[in-house]
Chain A
Amino acid sequence: MTTAPPQETDSTSSDGIRALPLRTAGYYLLLLGLVVFYLLPMETGFMTSIKTAVGVRESLPFLLPGTDLSFQIPFVEFDVDTMLEQTTDEKWRDAYDTLSRGMVNSMLFTIPSTILCAIFGSMAAYGLTLVKWRGQVFVLALFIAGIFIPYQAVIIPLTELYGFIDLQYRLGAIWALPFLSEERHPTILELIITHTAYGIPICTVLFRAQYQTMSWEMIEAARLDGAGLWRIYRRIVLPLSIPMFSVVFIFQFTQIWNEFLFSVTLIRSSVDEAASVTLILGQLGQAIEGTDFPLRMAGAFVAAAPTIVVYILFTDKFAEGVRV
């Protein structure tokens, strides 16, 4: 058998001038295409959000305010005065003013549910993976089944359940405390409970995947070192699952923050005291006289901001966590 001599790469042309390899150029072209594909909607949204009503009417959505295409060179009509005239930050202010109430409400149930999901999920995974007991498989099966229950199937039972429990009435004394209100916080509590319950199964499965790779001998070593169940969790398992906590925080925060169906069924109306950001966003810029696109776009950016902040905060650990 003969082996072919190594192929001369086409990175150097015959006259010795270094040319961009065709292959590399292709990659960059593809990357550029992807960047445009993914960023164009964002760019369009942003451009729309800073335009006045006139601006929206008179320029293409993805172009700067006061800009239009033409059939004469340079194919773009642009005028600084028109641009400034048609640019406004009013929609962002509007969106922020309208949504801030919902943002606070959403924070109030998203942050506690995210933290609770992660903690309970981690504990459940620990109990199902690193502790041996009878009937474990059955309980695990229940958790996994929990992931696959469709939201739609639980909406009616859920409203019935909270109607029956009536947190507003039962915990009446609590709502009388300072900073709490009867109109708002019972619903928030319902949302916390619901989102936590719904998030635990998937969190458990995520943590379980990591705990299964943990050294069993290490857990045994800790037992022989005199640590009990709780101490092993607290001092060995928990510190080792910090990267997975980041994954779960980002994942659950985004899920719960963006969730709409539970908000609709439990809060019902965007004018409710406890209205979530998604609920208000749905109504934003909708009026009989038409849709206010700039306002809706600005609202979408404002509503998405917290998830981006969470991504940035946990990125390092997230990268570590998904490597597990």
Chain B
Amino acid sequence: MARAKLDEVTKIFTEDDGSEVVAVDDVTLDIDDGEFLVLVGPSGCGKSTTLRMVAGLETITDGEIRLDGTVINDVPAKDRDIAMVFQSYALYPHMSVRGNMSFGLEESTNLGDDEIAKRVEESAGMMGIGDLLDRKPSDLSGGQQQRVALGRAIVRDPAVFLMDEPLSNLDAKLRAQMRTELQRLQNELDVTTIYVTHDQTEAMTMGDRIAILDDGELQQVGTPLECYHRPKNLFVAGFIGDPPMNFLQVTNEDGTLIDHSFEYPLPPQVASAVEGTDSLVLGVRPEDIELEPDQSRADDHTISATIDVVEPMGDENVVYLRLADGATIARPDLAEQDAAEGTHVNDAAVEGSDDAKEGIAGESRSTIIATIGGMQHFDDGQDISIRIPPDAIHVFDADSTEALHNRTLQDADAVPGI
């Protein structure tokens, strides 16, 4: 058990042609003893590289990584007292499950055979693989191999657990099951854990805290709910939450958000927060949008829209809406787009406004998503109004992508971690 600290850690890869790629840029993280930290971001954001630097599998270009105050930059991987679970499980195919699990203890400790056997059996029992100990990995199912990989890590009783997308090779049902099991296990063992995933659901549900990375840069570190309700910038707002937050490209005129098709007066408190910034992005979560079938009841905070598609999920309906002509949707497309640069957001907005040229891609971009109760019924093609409650809006600076205002939360004190 240990406290891990990353201090301004940078990783620069030098390509064969001599060009340099910054994979991890000045990342500072402080992971408490026993904490479960999830590193999340789109592929290529540097999360795995960060993990591999902690493991000692990549050299650190700049900065320091400390374990319990000791700098481990130059400590070889084999001496770091760290266990890692790989996406591919990386089991030793020629060894039995027992061999796989005892290998680490044989190599890194001076324990006697009896002690090793005892520990292996204990851990195997904990993982529910006690009866598989004499099988080879090739005789096991994917889920069982996954358990062996976890067992191999916990039997070491390391200072830190590193997990690199350990659940991504499992089917959806097993993944959900392992998610809870992993959390229970981590609570029980109370070992500092760094968990890498690209799946925001895993990040939200598993982490004590989550650290969101994009393009090698740390975007935000906080509890899952903090990142959900108080995103620091457009990227975090768009990445966390499924379906993602809706973004509208607007201009600010004296406390009113203006678009071609609507005007949205801001409450005074929000207006003062965004004062002086002209180009803004209005963000609202799908579950906060209210659908108003009776268009005559439109008010200041409604926008007219057409229902495109309704996806019934049973407990809720996911409604895809198209705004009246001219409305501009800003959707920083997460995988492709660099949300850190405001210009990109603007580009998307310009493209999104031109429905005719864009075709399907453009349509998806100019779509507003709302989630409503499963019992409410709407027809495809129906014209309605959508209400965006003023207390649920997020406002971002379109150029810097920073959040200028986040939603108000009435019961913020009642929910821990916000």
Contacts and interface: CB of A to CB of B under 8 A. Distances in A.
A215 B145 CA distance: 15
Contact of A215 (B77, B79, B88, B109): B88
Interface string A238-264: 011000000000000000000000000
A217 B88 contact: yes
Contact of B79 (A221, A226, A231, A240): A226
A224 B92 contact: no
A20 interface: no
Interface string A284-318: 00000000000000000000000000000000000
B78 A227 contact: yes
Interface stretch (B100-108, B124-132, B231-239, B246-254): B100-108
Contact of A220 (B90, B92, B94): B90
Contact of A224 (B55, B87, B93): B55
Contacts of B104: 224-226
A222 B103 CA distance: 8
A220 B85 CA distance: 11
Nearest to B94: A239
Interface string B164-180: 00000000000000000
A220 B82 CA distance: 12
A240 B84 contact: no
Interface in A218-239: 218, 220-228, 231, 235-236, 239
B93 A240 contact: yes
Interface residues of B, number: 26
Interface residues of A, number: 17
A218 B92 contact: yes
Contacts, number: 66
Central interface residue in A225, A228, A239, by most chain B CB within 10 Å: A225
A45 to B, nearest CB: 43
A217 B85 CA distance: 10
A222 B86 CA distance: 12
Contact of B90 (A221, A226, A240): A221
Interface in B28-80: 55-57, 76-80
A56 B109 CA distance: 73
Given A220-B57, A225-B104, A236 B78 contact: no
Contacts of B107: 222, 225-227, 231, 235
B78 A215 contact: no
A251 B83 CA distance: 41
B86 to A, nearest CB: 5
B11 interface: no
A224 B94 contact: no
A217 B90 CA distance: 5
Given A224-B78, A225-B108, A218 B103 contact: no
Task: List 8 A-B pairs, minimum CB-CB distance, nearest first.
Answer: A226-B108, A225-B104, A217-B90, A226-B107, A221-B90, A218-B90, A227-B107, A217-B86
19 contacts: A215-B88, A215-B90, A217-B90, A218-B90, A218-B91, A220-B57, A220-B86, A221-B84, A222-B103, A224-B77, A224-B80, A224-B82, A225-B108, A226-B78, A226-B107, A227-B78, A227-B107, A236-B92, A240-B94
